[in-house]
A and B are shown apart, each in its own frame.
Chain A
Amino acid sequence: MSFNYETYLRNDKMPTQWCSGCGLGNLMKAIIRAMTDCGIGNNDASIISGIGCSGRMSSYIDCNTLHTPHGRTLPYATGLKLSRPDKHVIVVSGDGDSMAIGGNHFIHTCRRNIDITLIVANNFTYGLTGGQFSPTTPANSWAPTAPYGTLEPQFDICEMAQASGATFVARSTVANLKHLTEMIRLGLEHKGTSVVEVISNCHVNFGRRNKHPEAPEMVNWIRQCCVDQDVIEVLPLEDLEGKFVVGVLSKKERPEYTAQWAKFVEKVQHEH
């Protein structure tokens, strides 16, 4: 029996505004499946997104949704989570949104280890504004703002998350719905800041300029670039060059921020 997405979809907003074949459609499916798997009802979660193609995610999922200014998802999410620690706060952001303009919020949210699930759709580009290069665009790629190729090295989102203190870090891709759903589910179940990087295809504004102009081909390319976290130890380093290591990259236990705050309040109230 096919999965019924309708409970979580704002059906009157369908079809989505994403380009045909865009990976964000699969990401939305995975989010809905993971929410279902976790038994999260429509009134138990908020989806928060920023600006960019990923920003549209909040329009389509039927719960209390918030569409913030560019890069500001995490501060809004932090405030919302602190006001209702009992609810799930799920942020869907893009590589530009969370790594460039929202970079400072990203590292500090991870440091606090507040119970927010941050899903970063990494399509290596500013798709909505026309394909300018982003902090995750591979070197020597082509973009309207890099007509001679990109000069800058790129961020590794998951390394950044781990270094900043996120206690659950995973990577998946839109090429494998089952794996992607599983990573998001684990992120939702984890108490603390969870970062799930999702490699996604923007064949229209990134792929077209970088040898992957069609969706199926680009998704295949992503699939071929994946190496499972479980096998990297047995692979020679050079085989990992240009690959996406997928799976749960790290999971740690560290006190979660809202729980700590609640304890702290109890202590202060007891003393005064």
Chain B
Amino acid sequence: MSGNAVIAEAAIAAGCRFYAGYPITPSSEIAAVMAEELPKVGGVFIQMEDEIASMGAIIGASLGGMKALTATSGPGFSLKQENLGFACMAEVPCVVVNVMRGGPSTGLPTLPAQGDVMQARWGTHGDHPIIALYPADLTEMYWQTVRAFNLAEKYRTPVILLSDELLGHMSERVEIPDASELTIIDRRKPDVAPDQYLPYDVKTELVPPMANFFEGYRYHVTGLTHDETGFPTEDPDLAEAQLRRLMLKVSANADDIMEWEEDGLADAEVAIFAYGAAARSARAAIAELRAAGIKVGLFRPITIWPFPEAALVKAVSHAKALFVVEMNMGQMIREVERGIRDVPIVGIHKVSGQPIDPEEIVLTVREFLEGKVTLPQKAVYQMSV
């Protein structure tokens, strides 16, 4: 089963009953599977007129009470940012998949890249909370897709599920869990009378309950800065309080949202930071280096946003060096640098449209250990491979 098919299957298992999308390589197979499967479970599939409309439609469907998904790649992700910001602002749960390809612009449509990890964080304008997950194998893809829906419902916020062309189009052995093994979270409904309902209560709750449209709780949903009732306000205190609550929903619950993998770091003299497809290259390189007696470990964020900074710092602080492996020109490396103060950081970046060959990582690590890579103090040595 391909990575894209896994996402579709898992979405349905998570309770997704609405898909709106627009054809784009390399994500289109997700739409194809949803088109085939959703009618069977009484769901709705619609191919919209463009990427913007697809994002709008899933927000509309979610307000009506459906768990909703759209999938795209870089150019489409750019177009979705406006409505994605609306979902953040109006606190509408939904899941957006970005199967990353080479950019910028039309870039390398059929080839993998990881150039949208910062766009996932800051793509839409204004301060906003965001959750982004990025698995590295297809069994994990299944679990993280389910988790994406759960987090969206739990925190009333859009969740971005990142993938890349390599993971999207490759197939491997996938352990599909039984439905009984899955925890499915649904949005919390209000337990007060309609006239008592505050859709954006700022005083008592970080994540207020969400009433679906047409269920008797009549309220207003807007992208304008609003008060606890949902109506627009320019009151400075209310504006500040609402945005702070919005950000806190994610930051105060970061421990629940963040997941990462640490592998072989306890005795590692060299640590590697990698995620998504690049983490597979890193794992292969680590296996080879370990076989040669070199102690190398992996730190792999599965939740990219919020970024598990404290865990990273703790896990790699004793290493001689931290290698950051990414299929971009150096994006998460800046986030890594914000946290790591005392460990030299070496970037291994590739934007050719080809996955990073594990040998390239092995070679760089060996060169470093042989003293051939001289590091300026506390500065980043960017190695182009």
Partner-B contacts on A (CB < 8 A): 13, 42-44, 46, 58-59, 62-69, 72, 74-84, 87, 104-105, 107-108, 261, 264-265, 268-269, 272
| Known pairs A83-B60, A269-B42; A64 contacts B222 (CB<8 A) | no
Across the A-B interface, give the 8 residue pairs with the lowest CB-CB distance, nearest first: A79-B60, A83-B64, A75-B56, A79-B57, A67-B222, A80-B60, A108-B49, A79-B61
- Assess whether B18 is in contact with A82, with CB atoms less than 8 Å apart: yes
Give the residues in chain B near A83, CB-CB below 8 Å. Answer: 18, 44, 60-66
Q: CB of B344 within 8 A of chain A?
A: no
Q: CB of B184 within 8 A of chain A?
A: no
- A interface footprint on B213-235 (CB within 8 Å = 1, 0 otherwise): 11111111111100000011000
CA distance A104 to B231 in the complex (A): 29
Partner-A contacts on B (CB < 8 A): 18, 20, 39-40, 42, 44, 46, 48-50, 52-66, 68, 82-83, 85-86, 213-224, 231-232
A269 contact from B20, B40, B49, B65, Cβ within 8 A: B40
Among A64, A68, A107, find the residue whose CB has the most chain B CB atoms closer than 10 A.
A64
A72 contact from B44, B52, B58, Cβ within 8 A: B52
A254 nearest CB across to chain B (Å):
18
A96 nearest CB across to chain B (Å):
16
CA distance A58 to B18 in the complex (A): 25
User: Which residue from chain A places its CB closest to the CB of B20 in the assembled complex?
Assistant: A79
Give the residues in chain A near B61, CB-CB below 8 Å. Answer: 79-80, 82-83
| Known pairs A75-B60, A79-B58; A105 contacts B53 (CB<8 A) | yes
- Assess whether B231 is in contact with A75, with CB atoms less than 8 Å apart: no
CA distance A78 to B40 in the complex (A): 21
A78 contact from B46, B65, B66, B223, Cβ within 8 A: B46
B56 contact from A79, A82, A107, Cβ within 8 A: A79
CA distance A62 to B218 in the complex (A): 7
Give the residues in chain A near B222, CB-CB below 8 Å. Answer: 58-59, 66-67
- Assess whether A42 is in contact with B218, with CB atoms less than 8 Å apart: yes
| Known pairs A59-B231, A264-B39; A67 contacts B221 (CB<8 A) | yes
15 contacts between A and B (CB under 8 A): A66-B221, A67-B220, A67-B222, A67-B223, A75-B20, A78-B48, A78-B53, A78-B56, A79-B59, A79-B68, A83-B44, A84-B64, A104-B53, A105-B56, A261-B44
B64 nearest CB across to chain A (Å):
3
- Assess whether A69 is in contact with B60, with CB atoms less than 8 Å apart: no
Give the residues in chain A near B214, CB-CB below 8 Å. Answer: 43-44, 46, 64, 84, 87
A249 nearest CB across to chain B (Å):
24
B379 nearest CB across to chain A (Å):
42
A64 nearest CB across to chain B (Å):
4
Give the residues in chain A near B218, CB-CB below 8 Å. Answer: 42-43, 62-65
A237 nearest CB across to chain B (Å):
35
B19 nearest CB across to chain A (Å):
10
- Assess whether A265 is in contact with B42, with CB atoms less than 8 Å apart: yes
